[in-house]
Amino acid sequence: MPNPPAISIRALEKTYRRRGKGSTKHALKGIDLDIPQGSLFALLGPNGAGKSTLINIMAGLVLKTSGQVTIWGTDLDEDPRRTRASIGVVPQELNIDAFFTPRALLDLQAGLYGVPKADRRTEALLETVGLTDKADSYARTLSGGMRRRLMVAKAMVHSPPILVLDEPTAGVDIELRQQLWANVRDLNRQGVTVLLTTHYLQEAEELCDRIAIIADGQVRANDTKEALLARLDGKELYVTLALPLPAPLPPALTALGAQPVSGDTLLFRHRRLDGLVPRVLAALAEAGLAIADLRTAEADLEDVFLQLTRPVATGNQAA
Ligand code: ADP
Ligand code: MG
């Protein structure tokens, strides 16, 4: 039997009520989501999709309206203390006291979580996030990327099995982004389940093994990166033969993923067409099949992402 999910979310709803103004915002509209143990999971979606709301509910920072959230086997409603102990959260907004040093900050946080002195991993955490050299510098002297990494270390002081990062690289320059990603990958390799939100497709694609696409408070897609990319990858090659398709198809063509789409036309789907086209042509020639027509179609990942996250046409306009 596979392990139970690290996080399990069922029928989760959130409506923000703005007191006084009487306006409301239906931010989460029935979210069902499982985050597998050990995964590096991206919650990908445009601004306003509901990502931070979802994260903040898990972290106990926002109250859900209805639905069920189970974290590391514990229901959020039954034992919020325990669920909080199971996740470390790096919030979207960084607020670090400028006059703390990384070492002092990590010690303080460990104290808040009741981690005994003997069990503290301050030095190891500083090392993991590459801040050993800066351990005793005031936080105000750290760059944006260093602060973000310090927040990752801070989220990990109580050794939670799950690390949650909300928009980890927003506002972090490219060089430091690479280092942060390396830190996150390291933690994941050490067995930590990582959930991050991002509105950068590239970040989800490069860093994560599973991606859920969320838009307008709903999950639009949820799959392994490979399956999602295969599904989203719109690079298509249509080959129409001079004669009806042979049955069965020559194995060389099936091996290239040929799918019959009509009596005389085959479709090949691929991430990239370069490389595929010559192989298809060679396989057809070898099978003695003449080509009547050849057509390619492509939608790039960004297009399909936009397509999946486009607002559904309802009267319910976002604020
Ligand atoms: P994301 O993190 O994906 O950008 P959020 O979860 O921050 O999205 O926001 C989802 C929606 O809920 C947005 O329309 C946002 O304006 C609204 N929202 C977020 N927080 C509040 C709040 N405290 N009060 C009212 N509306 C909110
Ligand atoms: Mg957000």
Per-residue pLDDT, 76: 96
171: its two tokens: 């506002």
Domains of the chain by range and CATH?
7-229 (3.40.50.300), 233-298 (3.30.70)
Residue nearest to atom 27 of ligand 1 (CA): 16
Ligand nearest to the CA of 213: 1
Per-residue pLDDT, 18: 79
Cα–Cα distance, 62 to 91 (Å, whole number): 13
Residues of the chain with pLDDT under 50: 314-319
**Residue 312 CB-density burial (10 A; 0-12 exposed, 13-18 middle, 19+ buried):** exposed
Per-residue pLDDT, 231: 62
Ligand 1 centre and the CA of 296: distance in Å? 41
Ligand 1 interacting residues, C-beta cut-off 6 A: 16, 18, 25, 27, 45, 47-53, 318-319
Ligand 2 centre and the CA of 314: distance in Å? 23
| Omega before residue 91 within 30° of 0, cis | no
Per-residue pLDDT, 319: 38
Per-residue pLDDT, 297: 74
